[in-house]
Amino acid sequence: MRAYVGWMTSPSPLSVAARGTQRSDLGILRALLPYLKPHVARIVFAIACLLVAKLLGLTVPMLLKHIVDSLDIQPSLRALPVLLLVAYGAARVGVNFFTELRQVVFARVMARTAREVTLKVFRHLHALSLKFHLSRRTGGVSRDVERGGTAITDLLDWTIYTIIPTILEVSLVTGYLVYRYGWTFGAITLLTLAGYIGWTFAVTEWRTRYYRAKVEADTKANARAVDSLLNYETVKYFNNEEHEATRYDENLRTVEEATVMSLKSLAVLNVGQTIVVSLGVTALMWRASAGVVAGQFSIGDLVLVNAYLLQLAAPLNYLGMMYREIKQAFTNMERLFGLLDEKLDVQDSPGAVPLATRRAHVRFNDVHFAYDPRREILKGVDFEIRPGQTVAVVGHSGSGKSTLARLLYRFYDPDGGGISIDGHDLRDLTQGSVRAAIATVPQDTVLFNDTIYYNILYGRPDATREEVEAAAQAAHIHSYIMAMPDRYETEVGERGLKLSGGEKQRVAIARALLKNPAIMIFDEATSALDSRSEKAIQAELERIAEGRTTLVIAHRLSTVMNADRILVMDAGRIVEQGTHEDLVASLGHYAQLWQLQLQAADEAAA
């Protein structure tokens, strides 16, 4: 529900990626170059294949001219020009061969580059702080990553397969026409090309705004759809299917309008391109025909000019589409690299060292913290958990209990004060080693859409099956699993929705046990269990906590009675601390909470 509310209150229609630093097209190319450097040899070979293919392509019309001229003789002397025909066929085969060879060589470059960039973005997303992930739109971000990866392939594809070949072909053909038939042929060709490029670039720049609008609306629509489907049960609870459809359709309408405008502007672009090319082709054919009539050129020369014009028409027609696709690729890649531009709020310091501990000593020293600078959550929290000790934190909702666990995991850094393990400030330790030393059982357990076995194994991916089953037995879920038709291979569904709340909680406990950490955090770990199951699990948790440094965050005080020390929080401060007996005897906040829960339990029993 948090994602749903956060989406509705988002102040900007842009996706998270769009909020990153905007890069120019040149900046995007510079960011892409490091990924291409390892493939320089393949790129050079692919371009060499292109050059050979284009040179062979230029010989085809020349050979055709000589074939036509050799046939234009007296009937009694007519002979089939066998060698010319063989050379003509070989040239056409060569063009196709080197074109396909180029594709074979360059395919690995495109696929590997797209993979490496997408993987880097994925890793960066996981490296970003919780602040980013609480404000992201999952569907929008995944859409940006997907389109960006495809855009890299498209950009490289168009660059090697279209831009370079077109430049080579136009240069070679124009040079040959000027050399063989005079400057007027080259001038007409260049004027046609200049008019075509000018019209294409001008109209495409105008069209790009509609594509950007379409991408933005598509990202937003996808974010809305994913958010709605993830909150399927909430939608059903409030009978809001039509409301969700209406909200989704708002963005689909924008996509529709942007698509229509994009297609209309494409028609304008294509008509203009056709007019420019037709005028150029007509002018060249008129000039060649006039030369034939005047006796300056042969029939073969007319065929050669016509063949070259047809040969140039194809890349020229592609030029408009090429420029449009490249602009769209840059737009999509801008959003992809925008994710890489998201700042890492929490990162390892240059001299960070790994944490090595088995009996950890945790210390919170005058910790201040706020998710929003306008509202401080923790106000000078100060306590310690000695090695092997269990410290419980209780208090009203919103008092800052769960924030302690997030700071210990270093999802955030404190705004003031510090947190240390074995005397080392968390900011001087590597994040990976700190998180490897901690396991948590959260209040709201979310599982991967995979099997029960995979979700338990996730605690330690290199564990054996026997270790996984032992962890499940310790969490009192092994018998439940074995009673299912597919046992450990049972699919848990999206976010584990196929399991009950208690079953999900037990899987989370088994997963934490499998990790076998030095520090355990139980954040309302038994909140989803019934009273009977809670007692069984509670006894198991207390056994697990023995010898480990343990932080227990609880609402039900009955679950923390045996803790070595209990901290009572209120409005971001520790207002009381001591053992259960001491706190009850002091008749303070804890005693009031204890009496209220006893009263509630008596009423429930009655």
% of the chain exceeding 70 in pLDDT: 84
Residue 508, CA distances (Å) to 302, 342, 363, 460, 545 in order: 79, 31, 26, 13, 15
**Cα–Cα distance for residue pair 29/113, rounded to 1 Å:** 13
CA 485 to chain centre: 36
Q: Which fold has domain 348-437+517-606?
A: Rossmann fold (3.40.50)
Tell which wins on pLDDT, 456 or 152.
Answer: 456
Q: Given this model, what pLDDT does residue 364 score?
A: 92
Q: Given this model, what pLDDT does residue 10 score?
A: 35
SS3 readout for 399-419: CCHHHHHHHHCCCCCCCEEEE
In which residue are the tokens 């005693």 written?
Answer: 591
Q: Given this model, what pLDDT does residue 534 score?
A: 67
In which residue are the tokens 């909020």 written?
Answer: 19
Residue 228 binned pLDDT confidence (cut-offs 50, 70, 90): confident
% of the chain exceeding 90 in pLDDT: 2
Closest-CA residue to 152 (of 330, 398, 346): 330
Per-residue pLDDT averaged across 493-513, rounded? 81
Per-residue pLDDT averaged across 524-533, rounded? 66
**Cα–Cα distance for residue pair 322/159, rounded to 1 Å:** 9
Q: Work out the number of other CB atoms within 10 angstroms of the CB of residue 349.
A: 11
Q: Is 347 exposed, middle or buried (0-12, 13-18, 19+ CB in 10 A)?
A: middle
Q: Work out the number of other CB atoms within 10 angstroms of the CB of residue 82.
A: 8
Considering the chain, tell me which residue range(s) the CATH 3.40.50.300 domain(s) occupy: 348-437+517-606, 445-516
pLDDT tens string 400-434: 888 898 899 888 888 888 899 988 888 888 888 88
Residue 365 binned pLDDT confidence (cut-offs 50, 70, 90): very high
Residue 138 binned pLDDT confidence (cut-offs 50, 70, 90): low
**Cα–Cα distance for residue pair 61/126, rounded to 1 Å:** 57
Record the pTM. Answer: 0.60
Predicted confidence (pLDDT) at residue 124 exceeds the cutoff of 80: no
Q: Could you give phi then psi for residue 569, rounded to 5 degrees?
A: -105, 145
Residue 368 binned pLDDT confidence (cut-offs 50, 70, 90): very high
With contact defined as beta carbons under 8 Å apart, do 458 and 507 qualify? no
Report the mean per-residue pLDDT for the chain.
78
- Pair type for strands 519-523 and 438-441: parallel
Determine which of 20-29, 286-295, 367-376, 378-387 has the lowest per-residue pLDDT on average. 20-29
Considering the chain, tell me which residue range(s) the CATH 1.20.1560.10 domain(s) occupy: 2-340
Predicted confidence (pLDDT) at residue 455 exceeds the cutoff of 80: yes
Predicted confidence (pLDDT) at residue 142 exceeds the cutoff of 80: no
Q: Given this model, what pLDDT does residue 11 score?
A: 35
Q: Which CATH architecture has domain 2-340?
A: Up-down Bundle (1.20)
pLDDT tens string 292-316: 777 777 777 777 777 777 777 666 6
**Cα–Cα distance for residue pair 208/269, rounded to 1 Å:** 12
Length of the chain: 606
Predicted confidence (pLDDT) at residue 286 exceeds the cutoff of 60: yes
Q: Which CATH architecture has domain 445-516?
A: 3-Layer(aba) Sandwich (3.40)
